[in-house]
């Protein structure tokens, strides 16, 4: 690059509102030249990312599927990868798909966008390593929504993803492809990521189990981030037992992810969730106390069919021996606005390549591909949801910079309020999404129509990304579509528990699953 000149100093300073005194420009020019030198020294140094062993875990059959082999539009890329000598058979012969923001070396990663292309990671995410070490077979990458933003399955550059229960309806997002593939039987189980509900919303709309575990329990290493305070990765499955099994395979300290707080077990001390379900099967929910979160139901847009099915499912718990009470947490109604501020402002810094303060594996090859700062052409190729995020994020930081730290403090208050409620009940329950799936927006939908399509989906999910509580989505029946009563769509219950109480959340869900067939409930 060319040497620093006076105009470089004044231009950079003006960007943050500083006019450099003329007498000082030369000094700052010398200092900026020194900064430039160390920046280039770091940029030109060899990177340091973990590399998988290609001999032990060969990647074969890597290809982009034809539409005829991809009827739901849910596959982003196909491959086959199995460990030649796995250390466990926990996932033996189970086929698994990965949300396409998860790094898997040698397999292209699209991130649901065409604003940049050609990224084939050089590392494996920790969840990839653990799936393979436990005998799982990874068969491909599942479509994620545009840059992992959006709760409606119409934003990916590869096209919309159809709901397996109703063509032309949303599969949810942003882990849309994972849910569609699992629900359709294309794979046995899948991995999704969740920054506001992106595991639980697709699970809800597609009749699946989706688990966002306690903050840090599952390492996020090697996955494209939205905001580190909101990032989660976890299982999406058709049964509770599969959910427990896949969760067991991927949890625990990995030594890289600084999201992993005190309380995360080391690999040798991971709870045996699958065995726990078998051992507690007879006990089920007897003696458990369940709290219906009033503010999680009493919302203007709550679908009457969803509420009716939810209350019937809760009554099912009572019949199995649990006691049920109503619980009020008034601040829950502020959870959605608070998480919106955290997401829009936190993700904005990440989108601009300015997220800092991390001690983890950084996907530097992804940063290079993004070509930040963005060009008009790159932004034109983003979906409305991503564009709106950039606009809102820039506006928020420019005019309401105080909102982000305030949202962080309010999130702690929310956590304390949920914790207080959980002292008197074992779990809090509410509909996962307060509306079922809806038709995908039309190809010529306006920006406002795109954004409004997600109404009713994040009201009960997003807040728990910030607070860190474990939250499981489980299927509880079908409800008629608002647009056509003859179309039946899945409804879902969310079970929220204390930190590290995944085993008992699964125990409760498993008891309900064993007693009732959700498709006939």
Q: Going along 166-280, which residue ranges are E strands?
A: 166-170, 189-194, 209-212, 232-237
Rounded to an integer, what distance in angstroms lies between the CA atom of residue 176 and that of residue 153? 6
Nearby residues of 475 by Cβ (< 8 Å), 6 or more positions away: 203, 204, 207, 208, 209, 490, 491, 492, 518, 519
Rounded to an integer, what distance in angstroms lies between the CA atom of residue 74 and that of residue 98? 11
Is 174 designated active site? yes
Is 99 designated active site? yes
- Give the 3-state secondary structure of 387-431: HHHHHHHHHHHHHCCCHHHHHHHHHHHHHHHHHHHCCCCCEEEEE
Q: Could you tell me which of 247, 301, 265, 252 has the C-alpha nearest to residue 509?
A: 247
**Catalytic residue selected from 115, 198, 438, 462:** 198
Question: Is 490 in a helix, a strand, or coil?
Answer: strand
Q: Going along 119-250, which residue ranges are E strands?
A: 137-142, 162-163, 166-170, 189-194, 209-212, 232-237
Q: Could you tell me which of 398, 351, 379 has the C-alpha nearest to residue 195?
A: 351
**Catalytic residue selected from 94, 99, 212, 370:** 99
Rounded to an integer, what distance in angstroms lies between the CA atom of residue 179 and that of residue 208? 7
**Catalytic residue selected from 153, 174, 225, 492:** 174
Give the helix/strand (H/E) hosting 488.
strand 488-496
Nearby residues of 46 by Cβ (< 8 Å), 6 or more positions away: none
Q: How many CB atoms lie within 10 A of CB 365?
A: 16
Catalytic (active-site) positions:
99, 174, 198
């Amino acid at each position: 690059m060319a040497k620093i000149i006076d105009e470089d100093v004044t231009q950079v300073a003006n960007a943050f509102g500083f006019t450099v005194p003329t007498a000082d420009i030369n000094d700052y020019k010398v200092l900026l030249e020194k900064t430039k030198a160390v920046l280039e020294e770091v940029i030109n140094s060899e990177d340091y990312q973990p590399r998988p062993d290609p001999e032990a875990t060969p990647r074969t059959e890597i290809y982009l599927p034809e539409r005829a082999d991809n009827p739901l539009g849910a596959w982003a890329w196909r491959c086959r990868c199995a460990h030649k000598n796995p250390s466990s058979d926990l996932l033996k012969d189970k086929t698994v798909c990965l949300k396409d923001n998860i790094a898997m070396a040698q397999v292209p990663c699209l991130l649901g966008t065409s604003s940049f292309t050609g990224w084939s990671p050089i590392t494996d995410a920790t969840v990839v390593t653990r799936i393979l070490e436990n005998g799982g077979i990874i068969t491909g990458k599942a479509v994620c929504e545009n840059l992992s933003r959006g709760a409606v399955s119409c934003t990916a550059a590869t096209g919309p993803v159809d709901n397996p229960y109703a063509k032309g309806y949303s599969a949810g997002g942003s882990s849309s492809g994972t849910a569609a593939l699992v629900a359709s039987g294309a794979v046995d189980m899948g991995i999704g990521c969740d920054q506001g509900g992106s595991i639980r919303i697709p699970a809800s709309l597609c009749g699946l189990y989706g688990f966002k575990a306690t903050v840090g329990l599952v390492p996020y290493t090697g996955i494209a981030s939205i905001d580190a305070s909101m990032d989660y990765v976890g299982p999406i499955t058709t049964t509770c037992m599969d959910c427990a099994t896949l969760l067991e395979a991927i949890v625990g300290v990995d030594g890289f992810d600084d999201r992993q707080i005190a309380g995360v077990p080391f690999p040798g001390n991971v709870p045996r969730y699958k065995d726990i379900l078998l051992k507690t099967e007879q006990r089920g929910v007897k003696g458990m106390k369940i709290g219906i979160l009033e503010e999680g139901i009493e919302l203007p847009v709550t679908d009457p069919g969803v509420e009716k099915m939810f209350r019937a499912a809760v009554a099912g718990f009572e019949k199995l021996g649990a006691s049920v009470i109503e619980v009020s947490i008034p601040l829950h109604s502020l959870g959605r606005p608070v998480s919106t501020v955290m997401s829009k402002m936190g993700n904005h810094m990440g989108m601009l390549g300015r997220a800092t303060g991390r001690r983890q594996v950084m996907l530097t090859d992804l940063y290079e591909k993004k070509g930040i700062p963005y060009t008009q052409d790159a932004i034109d190729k983003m979906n409305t949801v991503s564009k709106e995020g950039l606009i809102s994020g820039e506006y928020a930081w420019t005019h309401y910079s105080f909102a982000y730290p305030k949202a962080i403090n309010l999130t702690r208050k929310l956590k304390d309020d949920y914790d207080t409620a959980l002292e008197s009940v074992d779990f809090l329950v509410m509909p996962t999404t307060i509306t079922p799936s809806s038709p995908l927006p039309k190809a010529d939908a306006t920006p406002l129509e795109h954004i409004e399509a997600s109404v009713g989906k994040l009201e009960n999910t997003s807040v728990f990304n910030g607070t860190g509580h474990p939250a499981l989505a489980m299927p509880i029946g079908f409800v008629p579509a608002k647009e056509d009563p003859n179309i039946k769509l899945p409804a879902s219950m969310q079970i929220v528990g204390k930190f590290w109480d995944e085993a008992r959340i699964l125990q409760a869900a498993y008891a309900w699953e064993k007693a009732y067939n959700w498709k006939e409930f």
